Amino acid sequence: MSYIQAYNLKKEYGTDDAVVHAVNGMSFTIEPGEFVSIMGESGSGKSTLLSMLGAMNRPTSGELLIDDIDIYNIDGERQADFRREFLGFIFQSFHLMPYLTVIENVMLPLVITGFDKKEKIEMAHTALGHVGLLKKADRLPNQISGGEMERVAIARAIVNEPPILLADEPTGNLDTETSAEIMDLLLKFNSEGMTVIMVTHNPQCAECAHRIMRISDGVIISDNSMLKIIGSI
């Protein structure tokens, strides 16, 4: 099981008098199997933090350990292998390839793995089964709804069964009913042991998590465990 430890993480953009402290000294631990919501206003640093957790945005200073691996102190090839093995990503804008079918989109993270074609297809079918889209495997993205595109994005994120799932506003472009369906899927994966870290503006979605981390101006202003709150009533 993978756990996350962040020590005084900082991310600065710009130079001299124009420096922006997007992340300004964050320290925290995320235990295996937690569901953490990250909330904050636009520009607060939450998406920058998520990209740092995803080994996609090197901190200016500080340390980030996942499973005791200092992910920004390994070479580029090992870092790419680490992302593929440990992390799944759900992006707000889906990022589906319009000229690829649903199943081909789901198979994309498997392109440079050692699996043969048959294994890749079986893994993609399994992932599509988890999100209820097996019957639409051969359709193109423009032939399915927005909610179904988000399901495809989720299937792509979990196709290699990563221990950690990172989601950036996964319900941001969806209606209330579809948002609830997507949250049910994330809760399902979390109940099966996957660590879920989700950036969201939606308070209802955030409250599905075990823990809500609120960020403002690059710092953590509150970090509340929902389980502890419920247990104290």
What values do phi and psi take at 87, rounded to 5? Answer: -125, 140
C-alpha closest to that of 123 among 142, 136, 108: 108
Give the helix/strand (H/E) hosting 144.
Answer: none
Helix residue ranges, H only, 36-175: 46-53, 76-86, 102-107, 117-130, 146-158
Q: Does domain 32-44+76-231 have CATH number 3.30.499.10?
A: no
The amino acid sitting at 110 is L
User: DSSP secondary structure string, 61-91?
Assistant: EEEEEETTEETTSS-HHHHHHHHHHHEEEE-
> What's the distance, Cα to Cα, between the start and end of the chain in Å?
30
* 128 close to 119: Cβ distance less than 8 angstroms: no
Q: Structure pTM? A: 0.90
pLDDT tens, position by position, for the chain (233 residues)? 568 999 999 999 987 778 889 999 999 999 999 999 999 998 899 999 999 999 999 999 999 999 999 999 998 888 988 988 899 999 877 789 999 999 999 999 888 777 889 999 999 999 999 999 999 999 999 999 989 999 999 999 999 999 999 999 998 878 888 889 999 999 999 999 999 999 998 899 999 999 999 999 999 999 987 544 433 33
